[in-house]
Amino acid sequence: MPKLPTANSPKVAIFVDDKEVLVPGDTNLLEALKTVGIETPHICYHPYLPVSGNCRQCLVEQEGPRGRMLIIACFTPVTPGMKIYTPASSARVKNARQATSEFMLVNHPLDCPICDKAGECSLQENYMESAHQSRLRPEVGKQYHGNPDHTFVDSKGQVRGGKRVALGPRVTLDEERCVQCDRCVRFMRHVAKDEQLQLASRGDHTYITTFPGEKLDHEYDLCVTDICPVGALTANHFRFQQRTWLLSRTPSISMDDSLGANIWIDHNNGKIWRIMPRCNPEVNRSWLSNTSRLAYMGFTENRLASGDLNIVSDLLKHAKKVALVAGGACTLEDLAALKMLKDYLGDRASLFGGTLRPVLEADGISKSGDPLANRAGFKALGIPDNNLNDLMKHAADYDVLLTVHNDLFGDDEGAMILKKIPNRVILSAFNDETSKDATLVCGVNHWSEVTGSMINSLNILQKLSPAPTCPDAQLKPAYEVLSTLAGNPLTSAIAALQKVQEFVPALKPYSYENIRSTGVKLDGVLL
């Protein structure tokens, strides 16, 4: 894996286009140039994959003992005093990059109008940078747009031609668009550690394939569609759904795992079209598991309508002993509101928390295996994170159960014992197993629709942003519902965060404005 610059990287002076600049000294040239605002086009380089250096797009010139040589920026370590020439001053570099771009397009179909990657394709970006004055001319037999006979299915004089190859249950390959950068191969080999993909054959006949007859099938296989720089590997669930430039992106956190993978929620017209990993070097890097990625399909289905809070509040008023149960997808704000409710009910209420789902091993990529996403947040607020068994043991003592974002019955059959509690109030986004058996249900917003914050297993405070995709405008976030029950409605997330800060003074310095998109490391603050 390439070494990436950090805040602690030593600064060294190098000469770029004869100007002296200070760059991080412990990284490669491509990353170093990026830190001083020089973008180097690249196809095969990916910061979280081993360098393979095969696309030859990131060429720069270096002054060396044998004169100025073309080198690839992604593989060249920064050395103090090195002299680098970029296209800004070197016609040779400009030509070489242009040539590489053109070479890539020799066997590329240029079917951007029907390509799902259009808008986020490296080839398109590089083309704008360098190759728009193409010198290569079309070959005989090669058909281009503008040609009325263009049918999109012929091979256009190309050497590769597998179209719509079902590479696996979730991924489709269009071979003619492939530029053989081998990112997907390296991902499967070095990150997923399961070498299911390989480049077969050689020369310009090289093509991506699994072992014939086998399918690409892995928990992280959809990552190959993210890192594919062109439209060769596409995700079945997003194929021909939306043009990428029509999507709005909301940065959020996947609340199904305590690592809290950073995600983009891509949506328009109130509908989520896909979830993409959002790069966070310390958390999930550029990866996202299929489970987290495909979960969006259920976000708007099987939802609960908002309930009548007066009945709930009435019930709570007359309850003798109330069990308040927090679940996995609770944000810090929800937990603070729950705590308010506990304080409001006084001794009659006890707090419970945790999940009945099995806690698995961390996979080292984007999952810690712990389904209680905000476990660190539970600890920070002093809410028990693992005492559901106590509740089940003493179920008979309680007459009201109130759960927030916790599908107890769906997670474990053993929880059915809680049916002993006569009044079961469920605050949940979904009409899940627990809601079906409830005496009172009260629909709330899903985590993808709320502003909030959470602390992940690495003790990083991360924020969730709301995607405007809620199917029912009446729905409210769980913290609002809970605080209303507690008699002190928090009508905004900011107010809820302030409540959190009341409970946890250590979080005082943070607001939604100053929690960075990659989160804030709480080292020395909590735990």
Partner 1 sequence: MKKVQGAVHFVANNKLSFERGPSPVELYPTPADQLGHHKKVQPQPTMEEILPKLETPAMKARIADLLSRYPEAQGALLEVLWLVQEALGWVPREGIRYAAKVCGCSPAHAFGVATFYTMYKHAPTGRFLLQFCRNICCEQKGASNIIAYTEKALNIKTGETTPDGLFTILQVECLGACGFGPVMLVNDDFATNAKDGKLTMIPGETLTPEHVDNILRWCYAREKEFKNEPVRDALGGSVAGHLGHPGAPGASAVAQIFDYAPPSPVLGLKAVSKETGVVLTWKGAPEFTRLVVEREEGGSWKEIGEPSVKDKEFTDPNGRSGMNYRMIATSGDRVAKPSKEEKAV
Partner 2 sequence: MAEKIKVCTGNFGKGAQDIAVYKKLGGYANISSRLFDLSQFEVIDLVQRSGLRGRGGAGFPTGLKWSFVPRNTGKPVYIVVNADEGEPGTFKDHFLMIEDPHRLIEGLIIAGWALGSRTAYIYVRGEFLPCIESLNKAISQAYAEGLLGKNIGGTKFSFDIFVHRGAGAYICGEETALINSLEGQKGQPRLKPPFPAVSGAWKSPTCVNNVETLMALPWIFQNSPEAYAALGTASAGGTKVFCVSGDVKRTGVYEAPLGTPVMELLTSSEYACGIDGTLKGVIPGGSSCPVLLPEECEKATLDYECMSCFKTMFGSGAVMPFNTTRDVVVLLNTLGNFYSHESCGQCTPCREGTGYAKRIINSILNGEGHDGDLELLLSLSDQYNGTTICPLAPALGAPMTAFIKKYRSEFEAYIEKNPNHGSPRICATYRPGAFW
Which residues of this chain interact with partner 1, rule CB under 8 A?
A: 139-141, 151, 153-155, 157, 160-165, 173, 175, 194-202, 205, 207, 209-214
Measured in whole angstroms, the distance separating CA 495 from the mean position of its chain's CA atoms is: 27
Check binding of 79 to partner 2 (CB under 8 A): no
Here's the x/- map for partner 2, 286-325, by CB under 8 A: it reads as ----------------------------------------
| H/E segment holding residue 12 | strand 11-16
Q: Which one of partner 2, partner 1, none is in contact with 306 (Cβ closer than 5 to 8 A by kind)?
A: none
Residue identified by tokens 């009201």 is 400
Residues 76, 183, 97, 40: what is their CA dihedral angle, to the nearest 10 degrees? -60
Check binding of 161 to partner 2 (CB under 8 A): no
- Least separation in angstroms between residue 362's CB and partner 1 is 23
Q: Which one of partner 2, partner 1, none is in contact with 195 (Cβ closer than 5 to 8 A by kind)?
A: partner 1
- Least separation in angstroms between residue 409's CB and partner 2 is 52
The residue from 99, 118, 165, 362 that contacts partner 2 (CB under 8 A) is: 99
The half-sphere exposure of 180 on its side-chain side, counting CA atoms within 13 A, is: 19
Here's the x/- map for partner 2, 227-266, by CB under 8 A: it reads as ----------------------------------------
Looking at residue 392, the DSSP 8-state letter turns out to be H
Distance from C-alpha of 71 to C-alpha of 83, rounded to nearest angstrom: 12
Distance from C-alpha of 426 to C-alpha of 401, rounded to nearest angstrom: 8
CB of 248 within 8 A of CB of 266? yes
Interacting positions 24-43 with partner 2 (CB under 8 A): 43
Residue 294: which residues within 8 A CB-CB, separation 6 or more? 222, 237, 275
- Least separation in angstroms between residue 174's CB and partner 2 is 17
CB of 455 within 8 A of CB of 526? yes
- Least separation in angstroms between residue 111's CB and partner 1 is 13
The residue from 28, 57, 209, 435 that contacts partner 2 (CB under 8 A) is: 57
CB of 447 within 8 A of CB of 493? no
Check binding of 148 to partner 2 (CB under 8 A): yes
The residue from 137, 318, 396, 473 that contacts partner 2 (CB under 8 A) is: 137
Closest C-alpha to 470, from 267, 300, 249, 308: 300
Amino acid at position 105, single letter: L
Q: Which one of partner 1, partner 2, none is in contact with 413 (Cβ closer than 5 to 8 A by kind)?
A: none
Count of helix runs (H) and strand runs (E) in the chain: 14, 21
Amino acid at position 176, single letter: E
Across-strand partners of 426?
Answer: 403, 441
Q: Which one of partner 1, partner 2, none is in contact with 154 (Cβ closer than 5 to 8 A by kind)?
A: partner 1
Q: Which one of partner 1, partner 2, none is in contact with 197 (Cβ closer than 5 to 8 A by kind)?
A: partner 1
| Residue range at the interface with partner 2 (CB under 8 A); choices 137-145, 231-239, 461-469, 509-517 | 137-145
- Least separation in angstroms between residue 147's CB and partner 1 is 13
Check binding of 362 to partner 2 (CB under 8 A): no
Distance from C-alpha of 202 to C-alpha of 253, rounded to nearest angstrom: 41
- Least separation in angstroms between residue 11's CB and partner 2 is 24
| Strands 400-404 and 322-326, sheet pairing | parallel
Instruction: Give me the residues that bind partner 2 (CB under 8 A), please.
Output: 43, 51-57, 59, 69-70, 75, 95-96, 99-100, 103-104, 106-107, 135-149, 159, 179-180, 199, 201-206
